[in-house]
Structure 1
Amino acid sequence: MRKVREQVLAASGGKGIAPARTEIGQPPLNAQAHLEVLVQAVIPGTSIFSLATVETTATCNSTASNSGRGLRVKLGDETRVLASSLCSAGDNVHEQTYGVFELAENLLQQAGLAFSDVVRTWIHLRDIDRDYNDLNRARRAFFVSREIRPAPASTAIGGSLAVERHKLCLGFYAVTGHNPVARIPMHSPTLNEAPEYGADFVRGMRVAESNKTMLIVSGTASVDLAGRSVHVGDFSAQTDRMLANMHALLRGQGATFDDVVVAITYVKRPSDQLLLLDRFRNAGFEGFPHVWVQADICRPELLCETELIAVLPCIQ
């Protein structure tokens, strides 16, 4: 897979600038597929546009990861940084988590940004059932030490990593500009705030960039206003509650499912795929690029989770 990818990138004329990329063992729900790829591209609407690789010293020297490397995108007065597959050395999950957030901070500093400019993170855990609480404790310690408020939107999900000794990897998206980039946490009357049960992320983040307003919805599952998992054992009901939570988050920002531009859905049991497709179709949650993979969710009783990005015009 890596060999073919490098051949394609070389043939595309990318001028030696590699995109941020993540390799995660999450089997596609399509039984005929050996892998699935999600790609995001930017077509500049201005000549004031540049791409550059940013690097910092990584604590992990694995050639199978992107540790210490990210992509800086300058668009007019704004600077955006994307990185993925960041890994850190450490004897346990707490050490690796704290280390990978420090690595992200160092990488951002090389691009002239700070961790407070991060609006979205993705965290893949090799054993999420065992390690999720340790991840949360280390993430909270880092955020408190850096006074990160509000926390970014986030997804923490299960997935095997390219290197066996790594227990987790981190990806992020950050944005800043000469004028402060407005970022507003999203709320829902159907959900509590995740920090109330020890997970430091916002349910969604509204980010007003120069050319669009992004609504970044964190990984969302069948959770209620008290932060409890609801409809345990009932996949249909869990899907409906997940959809209701996402709809409420978007509605609070004047958006609907029609404004969604991309989504990723994680399903614990592949046998539930057809039922999930039917529930999504009935809810009008379709018509955009959508990746479907098998993965363990952050709680053993949760059977599905979806993250999404919706876009509104700047005038809103």
Structure 2
Amino acid sequence: MYPDTRLQFSTLNPALAADHAPADAGHILGMSHIGQPAKAQPWPTQPVLMPLLGNSASALQEYWHSTAPIRRGQFGDIHFSKAGEDVLYGVITLEESSIQPAGGESALQRLAEQAYRQLFGLLAAENCPHLWRIWNYIPRINAEQDGMERYRQFNIGRHQAFAACARPVDSSPAACALGTASGPVSIAFLAASRPALPLENPRQVSAFAYPRQYGPRSPTFSRAALASQQDEDILFISGTASIVGHETLHPGDVTAQTRETFANIAILLDEAKRQHAAAFTLQQLDYRVYIRHAADYPAVRAAFLQCVGDDSRAVYVQADICRADLLVEIEAQGFRLHR
């Protein structure tokens, strides 16, 4: 990165801030607004229409900001901000009703392909070709529609865009795909002028190599990604669940699934360390914890505390997970000075 560009992350309860933004509002790349719908902001904002669990706030805001000057713009349906010359944050939010099915493709499949084609077009136009992290939120993700689960339809469209834009799936970004009860499809992303290093979990089959039992096209993401800036490493942990090999473990047992999820996250921390990165620990990450059933929140939080020791840096939300037999999914990111 350029010397004056440093990516940072923070969380805010908007009810406790008079201006509803961090003090460095002029350097905000963008944000996720979790919970109740957000009011319009001058920076790209991803709506995360998921109820907060175990938190008295009606909404939380997670900010990505930079020390570099920010330029904002729009590219097709994408609202974006660029920090300096080398870090880009964007959000594309599309209503499925605006897309007409055609040629045997569902509206969701076409929407996913169109959204990702726009995304790749923006990255090329802004000379930030390297995706670091993507957040995908899809209404009714597990529902069967047009003879196929909606998540599988999304995966087909996403894969088609990767193929059409010559993006190799084995260097995919860190990512997640979660389900909302309703609302639009929303995709947020971080990209840069320099690549992040994709990381895989040796106890799991790579998601992009899943067998066809999980759909005609595999999910397109890496288990984690390791980026660097100035004297600091940034670790992005994709949405992680109780999967070993390619199979779900502990169906019906949310506590065991949470512990297995942390076993997978711990392996990814080891993989980052093997790449001579800073030594990340579970306690130093910021987490978002997705729980399928709100009633499972106490059990998930108890297991989280057993694994991490403190959940002050965790946000819990109710969401549908990409497989119907998964009860919990956890994502994270962390910043650490170089060794």
Could you tell me whether the CA contact under 8 Å between 1:186 and 1:206 is conserved in 2?
yes
* Shift in Å, 1:271: 1.3
| Structure 1 CA distance for aligned equivalents of residues 306 and 22 of structure 2 | 42
Question: 1:75-224 maps to which residues of 2 (within 5 A)?
Answer: 79-87=86-94, 89-91=98-100, 92-114=107-129, 117-130=130-143, 131-149=150-168, 150-160=171-181, 164=183, 166=184, 168-176=185-193, 181-197=194-210, 198-224=218-244
* Shift in Å, 1:259: 6.1
1:233 aligns with 2:273: no
* Shift in Å, 1:120: 0.9
Change beyond 3 A, Cα 1:23–1:182? closer
Change beyond 3 A, Cα 1:267–1:37? same
Cα distance per residue 1:42-74 (max 9 Å; x no partner): 3x3xxxx2111021233xxxxxxxxx2101011
Change beyond 3 A, Cα 1:242–1:183? same
Question: Which runs of 5 or more residues in structure 1 are unaligned?
Answer: 59-67
93-102 vs 14-23, which deviates more? 14-23
| Structure 1 CA distance for aligned equivalents of residues 329 and 69 of structure 2 | 35
| Structure 2 CA distance for aligned equivalents of residues 107 and 311 of structure 1 | 26
Could you tell me whether the CA contact under 8 Å between 1:203 and 1:218 is conserved in 2?
yes
One-letter amino acid of the counterpart of residue 163, structure 2? V
Question: Which runs of 5 or more residues in structure 2 are unaligned?
Answer: 1-13, 30-41, 101-106, 144-149, 211-217, 274-278
Once the two structures are aligned, what percentage of the paired residues are identical? 21
| Structure 2 CA distance for aligned equivalents of residues 233 and 299 of structure 1 | 13
| Structure 2 CA distance for aligned equivalents of residues 223 and 145 of structure 1 | 30
* Equivalent in the alignment of 1:27: 51
* Equivalent in the alignment of 1:304: 328
Question: Structure 1 length normalisation: TM-score?
Answer: 0.81
Cα distance per residue 1:73-121 (max 9 Å; x no partner): 11xxx5100012433742210111011112222333442333xx11111
298-307 vs 135-144, which deviates more? 135-144
* Shift in Å, 1:212: 1.7
* Equivalent in the alignment of 1:247: 266
Could you tell me whether the CA contact under 8 Å between 1:217 and 1:308 is conserved in 2?
yes
Could you tell me whether the CA contact under 8 Å between 1:51 and 1:73 is conserved in 2?
yes
Cα distance per residue 1:236-287 (max 9 Å; x no partner): 1111110100011111212343463311010011111111121111112536
Could you tell me whether the CA contact under 8 Å between 1:259 and 1:311 is conserved in 2?
no
Could you tell me whether the CA contact under 8 Å between 1:73 and 1:79 is conserved in 2?
yes
10-19 vs 100-109, which deviates more? 10-19
Cα distance per residue 1:144-170 (max 9 Å; x no partner): 222213111100001256xx5x4x221
SS of the equivalent of 1:39 reads: strand
Could you tell me whether the CA contact under 8 Å between 1:182 and 1:209 is conserved in 2?
no
Could you tell me whether the CA contact under 8 Å between 2:266 and 2:282 is conserved in 1?
no
Q: Which runs of 4+ in 1 moved over 4 A?
A: 4-7, 9-13
Question: Structure 2 length normalisation: TM-score?
Answer: 0.76
Root-mean-square deviation (CA, aligned residues, Å) is: 2.8
